[in-house]
Amino acid sequence: MQQQTDNSTAQFDVAVIGSGPGGYEAAIHAARHGLKTCLVEKAALGGVCVNWGCIPTKALLRSAEVYDLARNPATFGVTVGEAAFDLAQAVKRSRNVALKSSKGVEFMLKRAKVEVWPGEAVLTGGNGVAVTAQDGSTRTLEARNIIVATGSKQRVIPGLEPDGKKIITSREALIFKEVPESMIVVGGGAIGVEMAWFYAKAGAQVTIVELMERILPAEEAEVSEALKRSFEKAGIAVHCGAKLDNVAVSDAGVSAELVVEGQEPQKLEAACLLVAVGVTGGIDGLGLEAAGVETERGFIRTDAQCRTSAPGIWAIGDVRGGMLLAHKASAEAAIAVEAIAGKSPEPLAEALIPRCVYSQPSVASVGLTEEAAIKAGHEVVVGRSQFAASGKANAFGQLEGFVKLVFDAATGKMLGGHLIGHDAVELIGELGLACRYGVTAEGITTTVHAHPTLSETVREAAFAALQSMG
């Protein structure tokens, strides 16, 4: 059947390509400014974050946490039968959570009167966009401003090309119906760490292989080492400064040689291998070159207000590069739309973007690490406090982890905050505010923190720093 092409061209003030956290928030924000707005999405609303990343991953991690607690209830005075993990049911729940979130995005766009165009967008030059639907039909639009928010795609490493069965990405890992007996995870960043923790708790024998000298290499060294110790205690093998060679796939699974400099190669075998070595910008097939949009190292080049090299075209989120985080994309959405509306929004300071890893213990950080602060020329004072000293942590039976705060010795202002502990991610908001507004160690210490809460550990770390200042 020959598909029809609509030759009419719709006119908009703003067209957003991609409906992830950056895209849908940009569209809603633009509509609230009174701008006629459309959003183009080739898949489910909410993008990768809502459908295949942030949201379903956290739902699965919660299932693993509940299972882990159910296996050790006697300490809390609870007696239950033998616990078992049903991965198919956990996946079903995670998909329902993702679907609910996607429907929520659809509702918000409808309420904001954003016109949604299903299909794949291609820039046609100037202010034009061609949108091809799944049935092959094409229609076009013109917009005075186009915001590219197409996210990212998995980075492919030669020799580790995913086949969706034995060599997989996080997408396949999110929909397994049975827990594999064993798994090799290549990559010790946030995705690799979270997936490793989930499958280890679900019952798989997991091995992490990280090329850098430590897992979560962008975080405080103390935090990374503490997480490594926790993982090894949980039975997860962690190999840093390592890589795989001679990877082979068979019906039985995957085999490879673990190569660490100065050591004899070690043979590894597993039912499957998860590749979690990062992502690159989702720029393929967008027509960027024809539209005059410059790219660099797989990402779109922009200025501080998200403008590209082409007039009227903007880029936000993962496709722009930098920290590849959903909340960064949301912040950039506001910046781009405010600039489109003729205002002068403050550029985003990457050091103030919080970073979170949702394993247990979880990891959260914002601002400068101690090492980065010293390199930037600061004389620093560090305050630490252990969660083991917290009454709330003891009541919860979760004693792992600590808070580390970095202050400027001359001004007392906070430069960075770093946490590892059970649900430590929920404490990062206070530290983000402290870094954003230059709150001092004394300011945190003299702020009353409710008792008993984990947030008291933040206060204790600030008090330790304050004592060091004299």
Separation between Cα atoms, residue 182 and residue 266, nearest integer Å: 16
The active-site residue, picked from 378, 418, 422, 451, is: 451
Separation between Cα atoms, residue 451 and residue 439, nearest integer Å: 22
Quickly tell me which residue has 């890589």 as its tokens: 243
User: Closest Cα to residue 462, out of 419, 396, 407?
Assistant: 407
Identify whether 418 is a catalytic site residue: no
Q: Which residues are catalytic?
A: 451
